[in-house]
Structures are given as C-alpha cells and as structure tokens.
Structure 1
C-alpha cells in the first residue's frame, strides 16, 4: 500500500508538472512563436496571458462541476485535452488556431491541479497531508521554472515544433501512467453543488482567498521583474542571470519539501512568520541589490521562501473550507492567478514611475496588506479535515 501511495503521488506530481510546463514553457519560445506566426511579441504574449485568464475564470467553477465524477476518469479527460491541445499547437496553421489550442485546455487546468492536491492529501493520514501536498507542489515549481529553459533549448537546438512536441510527450506519458497505474477513484459521500457553494457564505473563505491573492502578489510582483532587476540594478550579464534564475527555481523545490514539514508540525507559527521573513528578504534585496555576491544568497533564501509560500497559500485556502476540498482548491488556483496578475501590474507601475530598484515596494505593500488580512482569521489556521473520496 505504501508503494502504491508513493507511485500515485509521483504520477500526480508529474501530471502537475506537465500541465504547468504547458502553461509556462511557452514563455521560453515566445520570440520564436512570434516569428513563426508573423505576429508581434506583444501579440504572442496573449498565449501566456489568455491561458492565465482562463485558469482564473474557471478555477471556482470547473472543479465544482467535475466534483462528483470518478477522479481517475476526470484526470484522464483533462490530460487528454492537454495532449490534444499540444498536438494541435505543433501544427497550428494560424495564430488564432494556436491561441484556441492554448485557451481551451486552460479551462481544464484547475480541474486536474485541484484534484491532484485533494487526492494527494486523502492518500495519507491527516497529519501527513501537508507533506503529500508539498510533493505535488514540486511538480508546480518544476513546471513553472524548468519548462521555460527546456523549451527554449529545444527550440534553438532542434526546432520550434520539437519544443511544442515536448509538451505533448510529457502529458501523454502522464496519461498512460494514469491509465495503467492509478486505481479507479469513485467519489464517496459526494457533496451537492449547493453544499460546496455554501462555503462562499463563510467570511473565512473570502479572508483566506484575499490572503492568498496578496501573498502571491507579494512574491510575483517582484519576481516577474527579477531578470530585469539583475540586469539594471546588479548589472549582471546574461549567463549569471540565467544561473540565478535556475538557483531560484531549485530553491523553490527545496522550499516545497520544507513547507510540508513545517505545516505538519508548526503551521500556526509558520503562517504568522512568513510575511516577516519575505519582508526581510525584500529589504535585503533593496539594500544589497547592486552587489552580485550577496544577491546569490538573497536569491537562494528568496526562492526557498517562495516555494514555501505556494504550499502555505494552498493550506490557507483548504483549511478555511475542509468540507469542500475540490472547490477550495479551485478558489486557491484562481486567487493565485489573480494575485500574480495584479502583482506584476503593481511591480510594473513602480518600475515605470520610480525605477527598477523600487519594484520591491510592490512586494512590501502586498506583504503589509496580507498580514492585515491574516490577522482577521479567527480559527488561527486550523488543520484541514480530510474527507473520504
């Protein structure tokens, strides 16, 4: 049974990697896509932004609609949609077709990810649930960070089509692994749509969603411009910048593992201290940004904290509504995507008005607001109660 659980969590982690890789990997080949479809780079950017909008819109609804269906069948459906979308993207005759091949799978993105978090948590004891979820989050971090350089490398070393085929192959492998090794998972004790929707009547649900939005905004409001910061403030050349971006991504995965342990044993202390820790990193970033050696240490610590933050956000949302985990995970995904969008906009605002080094102000403002929101939570982050199915 233990080996089966490990295999299940591994497949879920790989599945989340494949889906996040499809979403974020395109960033590494945007210039090639713009040239291929003869569109501007800003137009090609819609391949990223419309995907994120699709996730944000469908996050609260799609997991709810599929909540009563056998979870293995739902995962196979979503993975099949992603494989089909990837294949169409490889040979898309026009930019419009490529855009549709991206947007349609985006609406199914929250279904798989919310299921992956829920199934991972329910596959172990209640005490071990944060650790299981943290392992799935490794796939999230890898998909967000590793997919970009891999796709960029394949496009430059082979062809644009090979980079797109890479997305399809990863999702296809997970589809086969799910089909062959994941057991049937019928939903037991299914909650009605009304019962699940009732969590929106609870103030703690909205407080938690606001906290997740602001905490994600605090991270991505600064990280979205990290490469530009290293270039303009630290005066680094492209190779050291690439190294620090990889370091940040690797540190993210370390943070995922550490978060699982901290949320298992010290959830209340960790949630309360996170804004202060992130604020300390941004203060160091602002004061020591021009110096390359301190930036290596800052990047490492920042990456670890950012990886922990993803797990913390998911914990906040599901602990607020343990009676409807799929719907709560959908709200988590929507809140994080909206937070990323707003954070990036805020960071851009301060860069335009004050200069690149002042992008940290966007992070500080989100941190202060998130701390204020977190103090409103009356349950003090009660542990998530597991449900059958």
Structure 2
C-alpha cells in the first residue's frame, strides 16, 4: 500500500518538470524568439525575468486564495492552464501576445508547487514525507538541468513552435496522470486567511525563512556561473561543460533522495551541518578548481549536495508552520526565488569586480549568514 502511495509522487513530479521547463527551458530559445519577433535579446529576456518576478511577488497571496480548494483539482487545473498557455504561445502572432500567454500562468506556478509539496507529504506516513517530497523535487532537478538543453535542441532541430508544443504535451501527460492516479484530496479543515497569516508573527519562522533564502542564495551565487567557471578557470570547452551539467544533474537526483533520508532521521543535525558541507565544497572548488580531473570528482559531489539543499531548506522552513503547509510552502517558493535573485546578483558582482575564481566566496558569505540564522 505504501509503495502505491509513494508512486503518487511521480505524476506530480512530472508536472513539476513541465512547469520548471516552462520557466527555465525558454532560456535555450531566447535567441530564436528575438529573431522571430525582430526584437533584441534583452527584450526577449523579459520572458524570464518577469516570470520570476511574478512568482516571487504573488506566491503567498495566490496560495491563500486557493487554500480551500481540493488539492487534486488545483494540481489538475494549474497543469491545464500551463498546457493551454504553451499551446497558445506556439502560435503567438506577436511578442506582446507571447508575453501575455507566458506571464498569466506564472501566477499559478507557486500555487502548484505549494500544493504539490503538501499533497506529496500528506499522501504517506509522516516518517516518509521527506522522501516523498524529495521525489517531487526530482522533477525540479531534471527540469532545471535537462529542460534548457532539451528545449534548445527541439528549437534548433525543428522549430520555435515545436519547443512550446513539447512543453504543452508534457503538461497534458502530467494532467492525465494526476486525473487517473491521484485520489481526491479535499481540504479537511480550512483555516481562515487571518489564521494562516498569523504564522507570520512567529520570530522562529522568519529565521527559518532567512536561512532558506540564504541557502538558496549560496547555491545560485556559484551555480549560476557554473559554465563560466569551468571554461575560464578549469579550461573546459563548451561540449565538456554540457556533459558536466548533465553529470551535475544526475548526481543531484541521488542527492535529493539521500538528503531526504538525513532530514527524516535528524532534521536539526542535517540543517546545521549542511552549510558546513557546502562550504567545504566551495573551498575545494577555489583551491583545486583549475585541475580537470579533481574538478570532475567535485562536480559529482557538488551536484548531490546542491540539490539536497532544496529539500533541506524547504523542510526547515515549513517545519515551523505545520498547521498551514500550503501557505508555508508558498513562502518557501517566494523566498527561494528571492534567494536565487540575491545569489545571482552577488555572484555576478564577484565575477565582474574580483574575477571568476572568486565567485565561490559569494557562496561562502551566504552560507555564513544562513548558519547564523540556523
């Protein structure tokens, strides 16, 4: 019975992959979009930046708005909107229309994630919840690492239209999976908006939010410049860097599941040691990152620890608000996006003013701040 329940995470994870692919996969086809609509690449970049901004700003409010609806209906409904949005995007006559078709579903992105984590956790026994949520995170990991090259490949080999249709089909398949295999998940005791908002009065919650935000910042301040570091410091060419990205993602799938086991066993010890482990990896990257063979070994470990940080920070933040799991998860989605923004900005500053090799110190700085909050 538990095995069957554990399987329920996979249709949800496929939906996560589809949504993450919609968010980040477009990065691989921005030049084609710019050429197709006769606009600059920076203008096309609004499809990425505006999408992320909507997620960060609207997440908690949209989750509150949908908090009383059956979770299965929410999951299916959001996927239907994303499927239709990508279908319309494939045939958008103007860039303005494409921007509209893309940004409207962005408001529902955090709703899906918030409900997905809560639904996955509630579908199994409490001691298995972290492992089941980790399976949902696999969809996120694969979407982040594989989504960009797959979308870019489809766009290059076929057409811009085909790239959007691919994403639409993924959402449709996930929708069918949820409709067929996920049982009805009604909200048994809906809290009022005011009752849910009262969790924001907890000082401990804000420390956990800050810790999660800084951990995500630490992750992305270095990872955002992964390719640049390997090219400039390690001396790898573009093809090898692509292989390293896939290797990083593959080890990340393993890291997700392992981190979930550690969290289930001892949540506090795991969160305390996590910044130390990631910090040690950053120091190794700084010291021996110019050597190809050692760097490959580091990348394997780094990928596992990197994606483990997602489940660790999500569990740490939501542990302080078990009475409102969806709202707490929406806070994680919003502040995770804020962390990504902060990390990418500071890492970029280190890159521009201190040199490529120094970006690891931006990650270390955020890890120190996370440890203080923990």
Classify the TM-score, shorter chain.
over 0.9
1:6 is aligned to 6
Match status 1:28 vs 2:38: no
Match status 1:220 vs 2:223: no
**C-alpha separation between the residues in 1 aligned to 2:246 and 2:255?**
14
**C-alpha separation between the residues in 2 aligned to 1:97 and 1:71?**
30
2:271 is aligned to 271
Match status 1:183 vs 2:183: yes
2:318 is aligned to 318
**Equivalent residue runs for 1:353-364 within 5 Å:** 353-364=353-364
* 1:182 positional shift: 2.1
**C-alpha separation between the residues in 1 aligned to 2:226 and 2:259?**
23
**C-alpha separation between the residues in 2 aligned to 1:38 and 1:283?**
44
Match status 1:135 vs 2:135: yes
2:86 is aligned to 86
Decide whether the 8 Å contact of 2:288 with 2:294 is kept in 1.
Answer: yes
Q: CA RMSD in A?
A: 1.1
Match status 1:99 vs 2:130: no
1:124 is aligned to 124
1:110 is aligned to 110
| CA spacing shift, 1:112–1:53, aligned 2, 3 Å | same
* 1:3 positional shift: 5.0
The SS at the match of 2:236 is coil
1:373 is aligned to 373
* 1:73 positional shift: 1.4
1:210 is aligned to 210
**Equivalent residue runs for 1:55-66 within 5 Å:** 55-66=55-66
**C-alpha separation between the residues in 1 aligned to 2:280 and 2:4?**
41
1:331 is aligned to 331
Match status 1:234 vs 2:234: yes
Runs of 4+ in structure 1 off by over 4 angstroms are none
**C-alpha separation between the residues in 2 aligned to 1:130 and 1:10?**
15
The SS at the match of 1:342 is helix
2:19 is aligned to 19
Number of positions where the alignment pairs a residue of Structure 1 with one of Structure 2? 374
Decide whether the 8 Å contact of 2:118 with 2:326 is kept in 1.
Answer: yes
Judge which range, 2-11 or 181-190, deviates more.
2-11
Q: Deviations over 1:14-61 (max 9, x none)?
A: 111111111111111111111112122222111111111111112111
* 1:369 positional shift: 0.6
**C-alpha separation between the residues in 2 aligned to 1:91 and 1:321?**
43
Unaligned runs of 5+ in 2: none
The SS at the match of 1:80 is helix
2:305 is aligned to 305
Match status 1:75 vs 2:75: yes
**C-alpha separation between the residues in 1 aligned to 2:166 and 2:94?**
20
* 1:117 positional shift: 0.5
Decide whether the 8 Å contact of 2:267 with 2:316 is kept in 1.
Answer: no
* 1:7 positional shift: 3.4
Q: Deviations over 1:252-296 (max 9, x none)?
A: 111111111111112222111111111111111111121111110
**C-alpha separation between the residues in 1 aligned to 2:319 and 2:205?**
9
**C-alpha separation between the residues in 2 aligned to 1:200 and 1:92?**
41
TM-score by length of 2: 0.98
**C-alpha separation between the residues in 2 aligned to 1:145 and 1:86?**
20
Higher share of residues assigned helix: 2
TM-score by length of 1: 0.94
2:162 is aligned to 162
